[in-house]
Chain A
Amino acid sequence: MARVVVDVVLKPEILDPQGQAIVGALGRLGVEGVTSVRQGKHFELEVDDNVQDDAVAKIADTLLSNPVIENYTISRK
């Protein structure tokens, strides 16, 4: 078994209203100096050792992310 982590974030050119809302809340928390937040998704997959990189890429590309609006990174732990 191996752990594979897939992180998905909106592409830089796509507006992230949730990230903006978080920036607004940080101000009310009394923390200053945070100019931008981009919110994403973090997936932890437990996979058998025989699951190849291309299979993980397919999962990330077709289900976990929408390539029209999101980028993803894959790392094996």
Chain B
Amino acid sequence: MPRIGVVTFPGSLDDRDAARAVRIAGAEAVPLWHADPWLYEVDAVILPGGFSYGDYLRCGAIARFSPVMESVIGAARDGMPVLGICNGFQVLCESHLLPGALVRNDHRKFICKEQLLRIENAHTPWTSNYRNGQEIVIPLKNGEGGFVADQHTLDELEANGRVVARYLDGNPNGSYRDIAGICNEAGNVVGLMPHPEHAVEALTGSGTDGLGFFLGFPPFSGADGPDSSRSKVESGAQA
């Protein structure tokens, strides 16, 4: 069973929902603590939503320097799948694992709504259960969710398929080019402002459109990625 770590920072809110989504998806949720650098041999890490360290200084700015993040940053650079949701996305940007930054919503209000999105890149470990162009509805709730980056960075993200999800039906927070989520160059690190972990059960939400984000393990479990599972199939065929 794949082991997915879920980090709890002081001020994290959605760590329990993220762990629950992981379990509903059939994987093992491993709690990770901000002050503990050990990752307990997890196959992937989720940085959940909330207000890490009270959002003091800037959202995600203090969390970046926590002991667990030093390990997560190293593992992410080595190819481990990492998903940052909402505050987790902000932490990934502050950690320079993802480009750009997230700033206060242009309309100044906190948003909490069901949001229509389009999956633009279904080739990351976190979106492989969707197809390109698929439209999904999951909750969006943030005060500082406006994605900004310079023109060159935005063009590069678009040109290389690194926009993972885009807002549809109007821009809810002033994000440049309606960007709701992006990935790093290798595709293993994904940041997403809306909350798929809140849309994994019909009983408690708008639907189950978010579940796909947590179903990608396997075939993507482990740092080797999809190639290792392919080679297993080939060797099996030879035998």
Contacts and interface: CB of A to CB of B under 8 A. Distances in A.
A16 B108 CA distance: 9
Interface centre among B58, B93, B94, B105, by most chain A C-beta atoms within 10 angstroms, is B58
Given A66-B61, A68-B101, A17 B93 contact: no
B94 A18 contact: no
Interface in A53-76: 63-64, 66, 68-69
B contact patch SS? loop
B105 A63 contact: no
Given A63-B57, A66-B94, A17 B106 contact: yes
In this complex, the interface size class of chain B, counting residues with CB under 8 Å from chain A, is 20 to 34
B58 A66 contact: yes
A34 interface: no
Interface in B100-144: 100-101, 103-108
B108 A20 contact: yes
B61 A63 contact: yes
Contact of A69 (B57, B108, B148, B174): B148
Contacts of A29: none
A14 interface: yes
B149 interface: yes
Contacts of B101: 66, 68-69
Interface string A10-24: 100011011011000
B57 A68 contact: no
25 contacts: A10-B103, A14-B103, A14-B148, A15-B103, A15-B106, A15-B146, A17-B104, A17-B106, A17-B107, A18-B108, A21-B108, A63-B57, A63-B61, A63-B65, A66-B58, A66-B61, A66-B94, A66-B101, A68-B93, A68-B99, A68-B100, A68-B149, A69-B101, A69-B103, A69-B148
Interface of A: 10, 14-15, 17-18, 20-21, 63-64, 66, 68-69
Interface of B: 57-58, 61, 65, 93-94, 99-101, 103-108, 146, 148-150, 174
